[in-house]
Structure 1
Amino acid sequence: MSLLNMNMPSEGSQIIMRNIREQRLSRNWTQQALSERSGVSLSTLRKFEQTGKISLESFVKICFCLDLLDDLISLTEPKEQEFTSMDQLLEKSATKKRQRARGK
């Protein structure tokens, strides 16, 4: 089980916030420098580093500037379902994929 799975979402947000801050500091960038590079306002960046709250769009911009966007994208890719029994595999095979409804 991963570290984030053992924490509540708010704790996970705090961990992510600290990690992003450490990424910024490891590059010796000020908040102002990251703000200018990412296009995220300085006040938004400050609020994020204090509270962990930020819009997805701003978070993606920051991750892009910190060269973390590819990692973020790969983390959100759907994973292959792992089967623990042959019955689960057969059930999955028998289930038809959901199709889009046709307009009338």
Structure 2
Amino acid sequence: MSLISPSKALGKLAENVRSRRLNAGLTQQDLAERSGVALPTLRKFEQKGVISLESFLRLLMVVGGLEEVIEAIRPVKPTFTSIDEVLKQETSTRKRGRHK
């Protein structure tokens, strides 16, 4: 469980993208043009942290960090402590979400 709220996380993401933009010497206009994200969308993101996932990923393609985001949400591989756990994992059926 995380101690950071979604709104604070969005604000932090916006702050980080803005810092990357400034470190790259890009204006908001430059980043908007290079990423294909509309300038008003970029401004709203930097001010309020509101943006679509696709637009966010487009920004990361320009300022860097896309690969890190993909890596950060990669599923964690199980750690085995015995051969029995390995054998049990190999014979399990495919995983599905729970039905409500």
TM-score (ref. length: structure 1): 0.76
Change (3 A) 1:22 1:99: closer
Which residue pairs with 1:97 in the alignment?
A: 93
Matches within 5 A, 1:81-92: 81-82=78-79, 89=85
Runs of 5+ in structure 1 lacking a partner? Answer: none
Which residue pairs with 1:29 in the alignment?
A: 26
Q: Please give the alpha-carbon distance, in whole angstroms, between the structure 2 residues aligned to 1:81 and 1:94.
A: 12
Larger RCO, structure (CA 8 Å, separation 6 or more): 2
Q: Partner letter of residue 98 of structure 1?
A: R
The residue matched to 1:79 in structure 2 has which SS?
A: coil
- Please list the CA deviations of residues 26-67 of structure 1 after superposition, one character each: whole Å capped at 9, or x if unmatched: 111110000000000001000100110100110110000112
RMSD, matched Cα: 2.7
Matches within 5 A, 1:1-104: 5-82=2-79, 89=85, 93=89, 96-98=92-94
Q: Please give the alpha-carbon distance, in whole angstroms, between the structure 2 residues aligned to 1:23 and 1:96.
A: 44
Q: CA deviation at 1:72?
A: 1.2
The share of aligned pairs that are identical, in percent, is 42
Q: Please give the alpha-carbon distance, in whole angstroms, between the structure 1 residues aligned to 2:9 and 2:42.
A: 18
How many equivalent residue pairs?
Answer: 94
